[in-house]
Structure 1
Amino acid sequence: MTARARRILVAEDQETLRASISRNLRARGFEVLEAANGLEALALWDAEQPHLLILDVMMPRMDGLEVCRRVREHSIVPIIILTAMDAESDKVAAFDIGADDYLCKPFSVEELLARVRAVLRRVGRL
């Protein structure tokens, strides 16, 4: 399958950052779903079954870690946490509830794209 067939959910409450991530993913052939808060992310995940989730932690209505926890109750879809929270305890907590990768802000778009490819490759989807 091609990257074009891959659906990625980007959940980020900062509109400009969400748009930038989405634009870069689309430019590489991915289909992108966008959510501005955790409840939207959970609803889109349930309805669209994306191949990968990129979740900000500090979002309104439901934080990204809670979205991760709820998704993990039903799915093994890859999840990348994208956040400004860079303490070791935050990273450990995210991995313990089911995150597959963790990237701290600020970040390089190229590094995020490399992590997306790596996670999808590990699950045999790229």
Structure 2
Amino acid sequence: MERILLAEDEDAMRAYLKRALEKADYEVVDVDRGTSAAPLLEEEEFHLLLTDIVMPEMDGIELAQHCAKVSPKTKVMFITGFAAVSLKAGQAAPSARVLSKPFHLKDLVLEVDRVLDKVDPSGL
């Protein structure tokens, strides 16, 4: 089972995302800030870091850069409600996907499936 580290500072959104990903058969470890996620990336194996970009203490871009150093096999996907921040994320981590809020949960799960190569990108 693929493991996802979810970093999202908004409690309701984090619970909502975690529930949807668990229903899609992912194991999800969730934290409320980047500074809580950073040590987990060093201690445990995750297939995907799913992180909000705008968070207190350590933003998602800093967290993704830390992830690239300590866990280079972990894929990264950003979620954000800010278009300008989305552009910055794409420049900072060009291989990462960016999903802009608002989004439907099925779109989130589909994107996660694609990032983790669980779905044929051609849709076949």
Instruction: Find the counterpart in structure 1 of residue 122 from structure 2.
Output: none
Runs of 4+ more than 3 Å apart? none
Looking at structure 2, the residues matched to 102 and 44 of structure 1 have their Cα atoms a distance apart, in angstroms, of 22
Gaps of 5+ in 1: none
* TM-score normalised by structure 1 residue count: 0.85
Instruction: Find the counterpart in structure 2 of residue 44 from structure 1.
Output: 40
Instruction: Find the counterpart in structure 1 of residue 89 from structure 2.
Output: 94
Q: Tell me the number of residue pairs that the alignment of Structure 1 and Structure 2 aligns.
A: 116
Deviation at 1:29, TM superposition (A): 1.2
Looking at structure 2, the residues matched to 62 and 20 of structure 1 have their Cα atoms a distance apart, in angstroms, of 22
Aligned counterparts, 1:38-77, within 5 A = 38-74=34-70, 75-77=72-74
Q: What percent identity do the matched residue pairs reach? A: 32
Which residue of 71, 75, 79 maps to 2:76?
79
Looking at structure 2, the residues matched to 73 and 37 of structure 1 have their Cα atoms a distance apart, in angstroms, of 18
- RMSD between aligned residues: 1.5
Deviation at 1:59, TM superposition (A): 0.9
* TM-score normalised by structure 2 residue count: 0.86
Deviation at 1:41, TM superposition (A): 1.1
Gaps of 5+ in 2: 119-124
Q: Given the alignment of the two structures, is residue 18 of structure 1 paired with residue 25 of structure 2, yes or no?
A: no
Residue identity in the other structure for 1:81: F
Deviation at 1:11, TM superposition (A): 0.4
Contact map agreement 1:37 1:61 (CA 8 A) in 2: yes
- SS of match in other structure, 2:116: helix
